[in-house]
Structure 1
């Protein structure tokens, strides 16, 4: 850690100076000691508050040791904090996470310049003690770089396309799960108490889509194990954002100190349970392996991975970075990414619909105009208000307040700044999507902002819910289809209401979710001849 290194150098230098003063000065030892400590404090303060910040973009003045972390204590809305920093320091500024600088790029031209034009320099990931412990080193697809990342991403993209991502087969898979979800919800509507927790049912629906692709596995809506897996992912998302994680990163020894290591033990318990699920799936695939699979289309990504390794071995080729550990961690990354972001966005979607009845009615009126029992991908061009509403849900939900951290791959001078290899830098898209200069009154839920004068969907370049550049979301096309098909079909068939006491308070984690809420669901009576028969 650079600050620790320089602190040691400062201590050595001041110690030498101290002994020099002791030898030469004609003053008593107490005075010399005071001079020594004053010099230590002065030099350290000068380094912390001025010297170390010279090569990086300007930003809020950090506290010594703590950096800008005190600014996050008791802040009601971190998005408002970021907006205030952008107004004060411009589109690129530095925030200090303790002794670690984090450069936030928050205006579109600079984001494109850094993360597209200079993608080679600004597309690495930040590895630290916490991420390495969860991923058991440099594994998976999110926290890896270089040749391994390119090889594993290429394999994942190719395999997911084979399983229908971006093709009609994908729509069939999603529609199956949406139909199952609607049948389950219809049963819930018949209960004496219509207040239901919708989020677990949505999690099973979305989870089955990615489970089917990864493992060829589906769960029933009332399956307690699937609910447990979803709760584990939620818990992990919130636990890794606890402030104590910063101490674990800076001082790994603290993970072995009783009382201090409580959150660490909890996180490792979550990891253990998730890996047991994945290891069980991998073992099942090994036990059901058949030789004829080498000549057939793989049934899921796990089999595809095993077939790829076996083909390379039989052809005498280098297996590259394919191994059992990497398979397990790749599945962990895809399982988490395939569920967490889409489920969280849909949680916000139905909460926002319930809190904005006029928007809900406009969405349903447009859906009713299709006159079909199931909304399909082909109907999208005829549903501009629905698309605008989904865009506004993603914008206002803003589920990634701090984008996944990237690092500088090599020393580079750009725009008068000197970035060193390993410096943290991110495209801070959450600032873009809440910028009042781009989105007037950004705190208001207003889908019409995504429609032009002809009521067609308007493209807004600053709307980047799936990030940008080489680290753009791997499953963007799948997520877009899931959001559209789940949202549109549920809105066509059900009304959603919540009590006045239900808020849109944001719960911080890797993704930002709403507070758990109950929702009153009623079946809409539509005969698909555009006649409401309630």
Structure 2
């Protein structure tokens, strides 16, 4: 028979040996890496990160370890960057080095490891260049896109008039309006606010982002190989987006069946035409495959519609929370535009208060607080630390948008962050809601145009009232993770006659 004491001794010895081996390996690897809390085997820094929530824990660690530190998401080491100066260094000063996309397990499953968001190297360059040029051809960043946004803004006005001054939650309708702009560019169509199937897709999309931003979604990103098999709310993330994916695939099929290469209608048409051209050149190493078309179309719609609609929802929430802001905006709109002419993008140059308010809405709503993870494409030295090629690095955009060195009252809504002493609009280097550098969000100009025309048109036609006392109106996000999720609220739309 085995001696129990000997077995125990052997097991303890083996455990100690592997623990020392792990510690030695980790200590050797972290010699030139930024400091950070010691990770446990398999768990990494999970216990430290979940004590106060992922994002608050990372921000608190920045206070302890400095603007650059190392965290282990499971077994995956990631360099965290906080504050304007350090993030600027990563995204701008060393932007060409940190141009790769790091690991995002939840999106890798979304997009089947395909498409623009997850692409790297030549694949990313080809897809980005093609996407930028194609979207510009269809009006993004140009005056030609103004008309469909103006038309969508009028659809919003008509819908909100139909609520007959009754309290109403506008989030899903605002989501539909935002989605229609990108849907027109990508799919060549718009959806009615009464389309129940489409409204369900948008509702499911929002719910999916809520679950991604919850602790369950964060756990999935840390331990994807384990969480894939564990039951929980995170298992609903992917089924919730299934109808949207099917809509994308069905739209691509319809485009193929009705394609006229001489007259492309939208982004999908242009991609299909490029796919045919690439087939004719057998020597070309192409990225123009069906899987990238599905993933990129899905990605542009998901990113463009969701983030814009969340920003718009937060904007309306701030308008009813701070009615004095509306008074000043109404005065500026009446003076510059009047109450009958449709707002135009060029009006923005004469409306510094509205311009500043929109910037402050984007700053304080902080829609993507954690930004998107990057990866080093070469070995690099960052503030004396030597990061090997392939190191994941996460610039926390929220720490830029709330950096006290850039903003006087970073935690409070303050339009003076973007107005000078003469009431003129002023830029602020800490304004990075779209990230920065060559991997900047390709839809920045579209979002800016949408927000201006939507907000200006709505406030030209309505006074927005809270259904409860504004003092009791909660404006804190219900979830903070990948995305800040706005709370539910109701608005009364009072026509300005």
Normalised TM-score (structure 1): 0.84
> Bigger shift: 415-424 or 472-481?
415-424
Partner of residue 61, structure 2: 85
Q: How does 1:128-527 map to 2 (within 5 A)?
A: 129-137=105-113, 139-188=114-163, 190=164, 194-245=166-217, 248=220, 254=226, 257=229, 260-263=230-233, 265-289=235-259, 293-296=260-263, 298-313=264-279, 318=284, 320-372=286-338, 373=340, 374-498=342-466, 499-500=468-469, 501-506=472-477, 507-525=479-497
CA distance, structure 1, for counterparts of residue 101 and residue 252 of structure 2:
27
> Bigger shift: 38-47 or 463-472?
38-47
Which structure carries more relative contact order (alpha carbon 8 Å, separation 6+)?
2
CA distance, structure 1, for counterparts of residue 378 and residue 282 of structure 2:
35
Change (3 A) 1:183 1:251: closer
CA distance, structure 1, for counterparts of residue 298 and residue 361 of structure 2:
27
Partner of residue 6, structure 1: none
For residue 509 of structure 1, report the CA deviation from its aligned partner: 4.6
CA distance, structure 1, for counterparts of residue 308 and residue 105 of structure 2:
28
Find the structure with the greater CA-based Rg.
1
> Contact 2:417 / 2:428 at 8 angstroms: preserved in 1?
no
> Bigger shift: 310-319 or 498-507?
310-319
Find the residue that maps to 1:295 and give its secondary structure.
coil
For residue 35 of structure 1, report the CA deviation from its aligned partner: 5.3
Q: Deviations over 1:137-156 (max 9, x none)?
A: 3x111011111111111111
CA distance, structure 2, for counterparts of residue 69 and residue 402 of structure 1:
17
2:81 is aligned with 1:113: no
Q: Deviations over 1:144-182 (max 9, x none)?
A: 111111111111101100111111111111101001111
> Contact 2:403 / 2:430 at 8 angstroms: preserved in 1?
no
Find the residue that maps to 2:336 and give its secondary structure.
coil
> Contact 2:363 / 2:433 at 8 angstroms: preserved in 1?
yes
Change (3 A) 1:34 1:86: closer
CA distance, structure 2, for counterparts of residue 109 and residue 256 of structure 1:
37
Provide structure 2 residue ranges, at least 5 long, that are not aligned to the other structure: none
Q: Deviations over 1:84-128 (max 9, x none)?
A: 433333322223323322212234443343333433321111246
Normalised TM-score (structure 2): 0.90
> Contact 1:347 / 1:513 at 8 angstroms: preserved in 2?
no
> Contact 1:79 / 1:434 at 8 angstroms: preserved in 2?
no
For residue 422 of structure 1, report the CA deviation from its aligned partner: 2.6
CA distance, structure 1, for counterparts of residue 219 and residue 401 of structure 2:
31
> Contact 1:505 / 1:514 at 8 angstroms: preserved in 2?
yes
Change (3 A) 1:248 1:465: closer
CA distance, structure 2, for counterparts of residue 140 and residue 484 of structure 1:
29
Partner of residue 69, structure 1: 46
2:77 is aligned with 1:104: no
CA distance, structure 2, for counterparts of residue 32 and residue 492 of structure 1:
78
> Contact 1:436 / 1:442 at 8 angstroms: preserved in 2?
yes
Aligned residues: 487
Find the residue that maps to 1:325 and give its secondary structure.
helix
Q: Deviations over 1:480-520 (max 9, x none)?
A: 10011111111222122222443112123532121122112
Find the residue that maps to 2:393 and give its secondary structure.
strand
CA distance, structure 2, for counterparts of residue 66 and residue 319 of structure 1:
40
CA distance, structure 1, for counterparts of residue 228 and residue 55 of structure 2:
34
